[in-house]
Structure 1
Amino acid sequence: MRFIFLLLLPLFLCSPVKAQEDLPQDYFSSPLEIPLILSGTFAELRSNHFHSGLDIKTHQKTGLNVLASAEGYVSRIKVSHFGYGKALYIQHPNGYTTVYAHLKKFSPAIQAYIRKVQYAKESYEVEVFPKANELPVKQNELIAYSGNSGGSGGPHLHFEIRDAAASPMNPLDFGFNIQDNSHPLIEGVFVYPQGENSHVNQNNNRQKLRVIPLGNGNYITENFEAYGTLGFGVSTVDRLDFASNKNGVYQIKTSVNGNKLMQIDFKKFSFSESRYINRFIDYAYYKNERNRVQKLFKEDNNPLSIITTYGEKGFVNVQDSLDYNYTIEVKDFKGNTSTIKVPITSKTFPLEEITPKKIDSTAYFAKAGQAIAFDEDGFDIYIPKGALYEDAYLDIQKDGEGIKVHHDSTPLHKNMTIGFDVSNYTVKDREQLYVARMTDWGAAYYVDTYKKNNRFSVSTKTFGKYELRQDNVGPKITPINFREKRWMSSENELIFKIEDELTNIGGYRATINGKFILMEYDYKTDRLVYYFEDDIIKETENKLKLIVLDNVGNSTTFEGTFFRKN
């Protein structure tokens, strides 16, 4: 048996890489009382966004004390079924804001504050902005308990530091010390010929290079013949001590023959630019291979502030009769560096000897810089200006009760609208009609459907097949710890399971003896819970009524009686 001893090191040692002199290095303290081990790093590549903070491990359990990282006041509380779940925002005197998300529960004073709001609005999902004098906190004061609420994939604390403009910043730049003694891992290097005359080994398509590890963070790729303008991409992750998670890196630099080309710094970004991650990565490769390749060149419609270019937008221009040495340098926050050398031999070939890119032309051509609309026998499609990152031929086909709108390996930056003519359906039938997104394997997923007269529509950022479906079945309600006329004096919670197979849970409302009770819904487990500590019940005999709706209006009602001593 092997034991790992984890030493509780000081949390505010300055990074040996680069402590930003204009950022306070000893102002923020750890939000947890345990050593900081991360499952997610800042600006890590996620679906449709960069990760905006640190994900801190909580020993795979919930309920750990969460502490205010510095003095200030609670400036925002948001409770939602999805996203951050239960989240706190603390405004600090120095202008920064810290964020604590996926919480299980708030501290007693904050819990009482938000419960009052929830009961006043008769809603679990609320968002409030307390005034500076309402919920002041001191550094290291208990503010919440760690959890797994919202869109969390497992128990952890999501922690952020935002500047005065609400832009997330890398918390590691503020002096937090995380142990990391490993070089970033290089999983792949790719080359992207630009323009039909460019090639890599006589091929105009993306090419994956064979990467040879040399040890101690050094790599070299196979030598290849090329000509013209080339862009490169790298698939890389970092691993921290005491964790097996594949995390994001801190910096990537590129150069050719010793001349700087590009630098990517994962230190700060704005939420408004985060979705441009889909332009930054090779999106088609990710959708097909589930691996994110970061493009080391800056294309049009990529305004990401994390990227600095020093010439040619990161591209390498390979000319005749010259050899090139392209270098990629990848660093983690602790300064561990991996270096990839890419030797290039220049060689030209006639155009007819170069394998061209395959372009599937269709009747539907869309320009990225223009809005465009299509009509297709009972369907209409509108793609706004700026939704596409580049011009594209779109594959649009009617398919039974649905329509295929291109394929999901092409990213959309803005919502397109798909309209459905439902004039052939009766008014009654339309009540249970909805639009579903169909997967390649035939599964149907409900999409928020806007209904107006004879036209139903959806707004979506995902290409694919969409079709009309019908849902005539109400949600299913299953009691977990409730039985008719049971004494529940020893129970702390009232628990139900609620499910809807087709259109998901759209809403719910519960009362005891006619009074509203607040029930917390976790969509990941389908659990609906009422906590008796809310102290709504005053009688011994209690009549419970629970109504659950799906997203097309089907409802199911559960009624019962239980007893409880107060």
Structure 2
Amino acid sequence: MPGRFLKETLRLAVCVSALMAAAFADTGYEWPLELAPNLSSSFGEDRGSRFHMGIDLRTGGVTGKTVLAAADGHVSRVRCSAWGYGKAIYVQFDTGYSAVYGHLDDYYDELRDYVRRNQHARQNYNVDLTPKPGEFRVRRGQAIAKSGDSGSGPPHLHFEPRDPQGRPVNPRLLGMSWSDSTPPTPTKVLVCPDGPDSAVNGLAAPAVLALKTEGPGRFSCPPVRARGKIGFGVEYVDHEPDGLKLGAHRLRLLFGETTVFEVRHDRLSYDNHHNNAVAHHPFLGDLGRFKLLWRWPGNVCESYAAVTETGWWTVPEEGGELVLELVDFMGNRSVIVCPVLRDEDAPREAPAGAANAARGDLEWRCMGDWLSFTARFPAAEVEPPLVEVTAGGAAARSVAFVRAGGAVFSGAVKFDGAGPCTVRVSHPRLAAWGRSFDVAAREKPFTMALEGGARLEIPERGVYGLLPVSATLDEGGKKGGNLGPVWRLWPENAPLDRPGRITLPLPDTIKHPEKAAVGRQTGSGWAWMQGSVKDGRIQAEISSFGALSVVEDLSPPRLKEMVPEDGYAAESRRPRIRATVSDLESGVASWSLECGGQWLLAGYDADDGRIVWERDADLPAGSQELVLRVTDGAGNTAEFRRKLAVPGL
């Protein structure tokens, strides 16, 4: 939209608070919006398999707010994409730092013209451009863009400052601040033993503790009995008064004046930002989303650089009181007091009397490089269950469960190294339980032949520490679009530090192998993972375990609506042209819009499936045919046509 911005003009923030002016008066960095500082997401927040690498700035639920250069510098990169950061500007500051401005609605005049020239030259909406250093200079406070919701909505500005090495940094390090007077609110605490030789409340199993509010920012949990080494995690949220939720800047575990462990979100790296998958416990999702205050093996992200310790705390003879501290980016602080009592090491005595006839239940969990078992009986039980491990051709070794109470027993198996093994649990009043594993080790590549002709491969440094892997084949697993059996890799959702590779045989029912992919089950559907087909097999990369099958997409994208209607008589040479499309299987991959053979620049919004012409040039005059082509991830193409009359000069 020509003339939308003043060229090379310094813009001062208007209608912003005195707090904003004071916050940046001496830092050299401008707040990047012509609005009072308010966040919808903070730095280092949990994004499932990754950290949030910047801050998200509120724009009042609308697009079109003025975006400002935070410091003097030049545009080093500009991207336009239907996905990711959408329309984005990368500014290299003269200070050596840089910043990404993402999800924009529009660029400033000269940059918009530059992007559009390249889009037309390549006949592609998606471009990634690197201007020359002196080509687009910007100055602190200059309007460089309008905020939007491109790539991913709702409307907001993603602002991501980076250090001279290109690593995203906490904007507070640049002197930036924002409104936040509410401390983080913890909801529950996780306490875990580090292995079979440790226990929490009598069990080699995790315990989740409810919290009691003692006052503003002060919480306590009930005393926990423990022995050996234990680790803590916390589920929390930093509530804002209007209901939005932010993350914490710093989390610490303290014993007296000693810092047992600390997480501090000041610097991140795209090389390892996926380590967020093990910054939270990857195998206890049914119990909560716990930020760990110990270092998971292989987690090397910068948020853990403040300490060299692992975070496991050895319970002293006299027990002790630990404090979990949570501090947000504006210094608001909450503390949780966690009393720990030293538990007895000696096994508890068996109850007197005859054996119990009632059948019990067995609960088991993967805890990382060990398995936790808890057997519960409806009444006091004399005989403990046995866990038997067979590995490497050696004779089986059996260990009795430890009594945790009259009717409760605890068992555990720790894996010492890579290789196949079988674990069985036996007891007259428990259902027979057994499972075969192949243990993957971080320092070695891993290959596992799966039933049904499938294969799993994980590269060196692909798993975090040791990981017991098992797989089952569900021949009758056809559900919601897959074409054959389902391979279930366990531990479910186990994250990988480096992508693995799954190879599946193509089922006989497949019609067009070139339109096949590996699907990962997500609820009632399948997530499409593009693969390569060769010799009757399909191969794809995976970043985590789960249920996998072969899927096929033979359906082209569908049109929900298109404007204008067929036969439309336009009143100008730049009428509004838009369409809404969908593809529920492999997803929209590309699109093109033409009028009378002239390529039109049209953007695609992946959130709502809308394709909109940018109206940046006149249509050819006369009777014309508008052609929209949409191609999905499997290569299926749909073509939609409309006749229209375009007025002359």
Per the normalisation by structure 2, the TM-score is 0.80
Match of 2:79 in 1: 78
Q: 2:120 aligns to what SS in structure 1?
A: helix
TM-fit CA distance, 1:7? 7.4
Q: Per-residue deviation at 1:272?
A: 1.1
Q: What code does the residue aligned with 1:219 have?
A: F
Cα distance in structure 2, aligned partners of 1:432 and 1:61:
39
1:314 corresponds to which residue?
311
Alpha-carbon distance in 2 for matches of 1:312, 1:97:
32
Q: Does the aligned pair in 2 maintain the 1:261–1:309 contact within 8 Å?
A: no
2:542 matches 1:542: no
Partner residue, 1:350: 346
Secondary structure of the residue that 2:563 maps to in structure 1? coil
Taking a change above 3 Å as real, the CA distance of residues 278 and 460 of structure 1, as seen in their structure-2 partners, is same
8 A Cα contact 1:449 1:458, kept in partner: yes
Q: What secondary structure is seen at the aligned counterpart in 1 of 2:501?
A: strand
- Corresponding letter in the other structure for 1:371: P
Match of 1:140 in 2: 141
Deviations 1:278-334 (A, max 9, x none): 122112233x35x431111123212222225667522211133x1211111211222
Label 1:550 to 1:305 Cα distance change in 2 as closer, same or farther (>3 A): closer
**Structure 2 residue 640 is the aligned partner of structure 1 residue 558:** yes
Q: Secondary structure at the match of 1:277?
A: helix
Within-5 A mapping of 1:8-19: 8-13=17-22
Residue among 410, 433, 455 paired with 2:516 = 433
| 1:319 counterpart SS class | coil
From 371, 386, 392, the counterpart of 2:461: 386
Q: Contact conserved, 2:16 with 2:35, CA < 8 A, in 1?
A: no
Q: Is the 1:52–1:168 Cα contact (8 Å) retained in structure 2?
A: yes
Between 1:252-261 and 1:185-194, the stretch displaced more is: 252-261
From the superposition, tell whether residues 210 and 431 of structure 1 become closer, same or farther in structure 2 (CA, over 3 Å): closer
Please say if 1:294 is aligned against 2:277: no
Q: Quick one: which of 309, 322, 326 aligns to 1:326?
A: 322
Amino acid at match of 1:326: L
Counterpart-to-counterpart distance in 1, 2:343 and 2:105: 61
**Per-residue CA distance 1:226-263 (angstroms, 9 max, x = gap):** 111111111222234x5421111111222213322222
1:450 matched to 2:532? The reply is: yes
Q: Deviations over 1:140-177 (max 9, x none)?
A: 22211111111x24110001111111111111222223
Matched, 1:498 2:581: yes
Q: Which residue of 1 aligns with 2:442?
A: 368
State the match for 1:20 in structure 2. Answer: none
Look up the equivalent residue of 1:332 and give its one-letter code.
D
Q: Quick check: 2:621–2:646 contact (8 Å CA) kept in 1?
A: yes
Residue of structure 2 equivalent to 1:254: 253
Q: Are the aligned partners of 1:330 and 1:337 in contact in 2 as well (CA < 8 Å)?
A: yes
User: Aligned-pair distance for 1:398?
Assistant: 2.2
Aligned partners of 1:552 and 1:104: how far apart in 2? 30
Which letter does structure 1 place at the counterpart of 2:303? I
Q: Does the aligned pair in 2 maintain the 1:12–1:176 contact within 8 Å? A: no
Tell me which residue corresponds to 2:352.
none
Counterpart residue number, 1:218: 218
User: What residue in structure 2 maps to residue 52 of structure 1?
Assistant: 53
2:551 is the counterpart of 1:469: yes
Change (3 A) 1:483 1:550: same
Distance in 2, Cα, partners of 1:268 & 1:13: 25
> Could you give the per-residue CA deviations for residues 260-282 of structure 1, whole angstroms, max 9, x where no partner exists?
22222211122212111112211
CA distance in 1, matches of 2:614, 2:516: 36
The CA distance in 2 between the partners of 1:356 and 1:345, in whole Å, is 19
Q: Deviations over 1:25-65 (max 9, x none)?
A: 52111111111111001111112211111101111111111
SS at match of 2:472: strand
Distance 2:507 2:137 in 1: 57
Structure 1 residues 263 and 478, CA, compared in 2 at 3 Å: closer, same or farther? Answer: closer
Structure with the bigger RCO (C-alpha within 8 Å, sep 6+) is 1
Superposition pairs for residues 196-275 of structure 1, below 5 Å? 196-240=196-240, 243-275=242-274
1:58-69 residue pairs with structure 2 within 5 A? 58-69=59-70
Once residues 343 and 552 of structure 2 are traced to their aligned partners in structure 1, the CA distance between those partners, rounded to angstroms, is: 60
**Partners of 1:293 and 1:81 in 2: CA distance:** 33
- Show the counterpart of 1:37: 38
Deviation at 1:407, TM superposition (A): 4.5
CA distance in 2, matches of 1:133, 1:141: 16
The match for 1:525 is 608
Establish whether residue 103 from structure 1 lines up as the match of residue 99 from structure 2: no
Q: Deviations over 1:371-407 (max 9, x none)?
A: 1112232312112222221322223122232322225
Larger Rg: 2
For structure 1, the 5+ residue unaligned runs are 1-5, 16-23
Q: Aligned partners of 1:173 and 1:228: how far apart in 2?
A: 39
Identity of counterpart residues, as a percentage?
A: 26
CA distance in 1, matches of 2:447, 2:337: 47
Instruction: Name the SS for the 1:276 alignment partner.
Output: helix
What is the distance in 1 between the residues matched to 2:315 and 2:43?
35
Q: Distance in 2 between matches of 1:304 and 1:430?
A: 40
State the secondary structure of the residue aligned to 1:11. Answer: helix
Q: Distance in 2 between matches of 1:31 and 1:563?
A: 44
* Counterpart secondary structure, 2:18: coil
Cα distance between partner residues in 1 of 2:437 and 2:470: 8
Contact 1:362 1:393 in 2 (8 A): no
Distance 1:67 1:438 in 2: 43
Could you tell me how far apart the structure 2 residues matched to 1:436 and 1:444 are? 5
**What is aligned with 1:172?**
172
- Rate the CA distance shift 1:470–1:253 in 2: closer, same or farther, 3 A: closer
Structure 2 CA distance for partners of 1:313 and 1:13, relative to 1, 3 Å: farther
Paired amino acid for 2:131: P
CA distance in structure 2 between the partners assigned to 1:510 and 1:547 by the alignment: 7
Q: Secondary structure at the match of 2:198?
A: strand
Contact 2:76 2:131 in 1 (8 A): yes
TM-aligned CA distance change 1:285 to 1:9, over 3 Å: farther
SS at match of 1:52: coil
- Judged with a 3 Å threshold, the aligned counterparts in structure 2 of structure 1 residues 347 and 43 are, in CA distance, closer, same or farther, namely same
Question: Cα deviations across residues 451-476 of structure 1 (Å, max 9, x unaligned)?
Answer: 23422111111211222233222211
Residues 406, 310 of structure 1: alpha-carbon distance in 2 compared, 3 angstrom cutoff: closer
**Aligned residue pairs: how many?**
545
Counterpart contact for 2:76–2:132, Cα < 8 Å: yes
Matched residue, 2:282:
283
Opposite residue 61 of structure 2, the aligned amino acid is Q
Q: Do the aligned partners of 1:276 and 1:413 also contact (CA within 8 Å) in 2?
A: yes
